[in-house]
Structure 1
Amino acid sequence: MSIYQHFRDDEKPFIDTILDWQDFVMTRYAPKCTDFLDPRQQEILRLVIGSQGEVNAHFFGGFEAAERKRALLVPEYFQVQQESFGLSLFELDYPAKFAKITHRELLGSLLGLGLVRDKFGDLLFKDDCIQFLAAQEVADFVAAHLTHVGKVGVSCKEKPLSEILHIETHWDEAAGTVSSLRLDTVLSEIYKLSRTKIAGHIESGGVKVNWKTVEKTGYELAPGDYLSVRGFGRSRLFAVEGVTKKGKQRIRYGRLV
């Protein structure tokens, strides 16, 4: 039985990467620290590596409820320390009384440094305090080159992880019925928008499934998928819970609040 049959075609390259990491740890008997992974990637890694093999996987993103985490793949009995994950915490110094910085602006400025999203963890906002996590190997570069977010002048102060903002995520859960698990059908139920409006968002590139842009209205969803519609926030399809007498599928889902 092939391991690939349990995953979508577009997830197969990532599975190959995981198998390469696993082989590295087993042949060299040395740890392998990954870049930051989104929750779907973390789930795939757990499923591929398992919990009974010669290689164990540990995850850390700065605090327990972090969304994006680095994985550390290690041989059995390897002692994992927090420092092994190579995380750097930065706090922005900026004129908070006169300027406002958004999540999108900060992410855009970080990627504008020429680094990929995988090098950054969660972006944390609480009142006027803004922090973000970066891979330790790019920390010096980020500190030296992140001087503006949008038009706002900023500087980065590295902080100990003990001073990280603990941001909890909350899902507003609900249940409903859909005629199918097509992307446009499920999003119409979750966001209470017509399928025509949802189709417009999908076809214009404004919809992501598991952090990847999907432009096909008929894309088939599966329980566990993370979803987002630009301008309407994020959601998740938690479960499919049977079929009604009229042949519709009962789904349980949540919107991030």
Structure 2
Amino acid sequence: MSLYEHFRKDEHPFVDQVLDWKRIGEEEYRPKLTDFLDPRQQKIVKLIIGDQGTVRLGFWGGHENAERKRALLYPEYIIPNKDDYKTTLFELDYPKKFSTLEHRQLLGSLMSIGMKREKFGDIISDQEHFQLILAKEVADYVQMNLQTVGKTNVMLRELPEENVLPFKQERDERAVTVSSLRLDTVLSEAFHISRAKIKPAVSGEKVKVNWKVVDDPSYQLTEGDMLSLRGKGRCELVQFDGETKKGKYRLILGFPK
């Protein structure tokens, strides 16, 4: 069986990239540090690298509960530490008494100064304080160029990583029954929105599966997929729980609190 059969067609380019990283470790016997990976990409890397070969694998995203992490592929003789992952923690200084920031505004401002999503990790907030995990190689550039978020003037102040805000992702789970594993069908059930309204949201590129825009309402989902619908939130297809006698699918969906 081909390795590619375990992954969706749109994931094959990333699989090729991981195989090249693995080759670097096996043939050149040197470490390879990646950009920030989303959880699906992390899972693909784990599946391909495994834990039995000569290439070892570690992840770090600036804090213990990070969602987005950098991967380090390294030979057996190296014992990595957190500094090897080259992450930098910044906190935004801004006039909190007079301004309110939002996650999407900060994300948009980073994109507007030319930052690729792969170069920064989690954006952490307690609604008043905002912190940002960056790849060290772009930290100086972002600190110099990120001067506004929305209409608010900001400055970035570097902090030791142990000063990261407390972050723990919790979720509620709900059992549902759906007629198919189509994207529009599962979204409709997850967010209690009719399929007639879901379809234009999907075709209008307001839906992501595993952090990538998907514009096909008939896209087939599988266990572990993370879905997001702009303006409504996210949910994970946690578990496929079998079929009913009428051929419907029983699913466990997880919703971040």
Q: Same fold (TM over 0.5)?
A: yes
Where does structure 1 lack aligned partners over 5 or more consecutive residues?
Answer: none
> What is the TM-score of this pair, normalised by structure 1?
0.98
What does the per-residue CA deviation read over 1:47-102, in whole Å, with 9 as the maximum and x for residues that have no partner?
01111111111001111211000000011242011100000000001001100110
Report the Cα distance in structure 2 between the residues aligned to 1:61 and 1:146, rounded to whole angstroms: 21
How far apart are the structure 2 equivalents of 1:27 and 1:141?
A: 34
Q: What is residue 34 of structure 2 aligned with on the other side?
A: 34
State the identity %. 51
SS of equivalent to 1:89: strand
Between stretches 197-206 and 86-95, larger displacement belongs to 197-206
1:23-62 to 2 correspondence within 5 Å? 23-62=23-62
Distance 1:188 1:152 in 2: 37
Give the letter aligned to residue 66 of structure 1.
Answer: A
Q: Displacement of 1:166 after TM fit? A: 2.3
Q: What per-residue deviation string (whole Å, max 9, x for no partner) do you get for residues 183-225 of structure 1?
A: 0111111111111111121111111101111111100000000
Q: Is the 8 A contact 1:171 1:256 kept in 2?
A: yes
Query: 1:196 — aligned with what?
Result: 196
What's the Cα RMSD here?
0.9
- SS of 1:100's partner is coil
Q: How far apart are the structure 2 equivalents of 1:42 and 1:150? A: 32
The residue that corresponds to 1:238 in the other structure is: 238
Secondary structure at 2:58 match in 1: strand
Q: Which residue of 1 aligns with 2:18?
A: 18
Equivalent positions of 1:1-257 (< 5 A) are 1-257=1-257
Q: Which residue type is aligned with residue 82 of structure 2?
A: Q
Asked if the contact 1:21/1:32 (under 8 Å) is kept, the reply is yes
> CA 1:137–1:55 in structure 2 vs 1: closer, same or farther (change >3 Å)?
same
- The 8 Å contact of residues 172 and 255 in structure 1, kept in 2 or not, is answered as yes
Moved over 3 A (4+): none
**Aligned 8 A contact 1:25 1:32 in 2:** yes
| Paired positions, count | 257
Runs of at least 5 residues in structure 2 that lack an aligned partner in the other structure: none
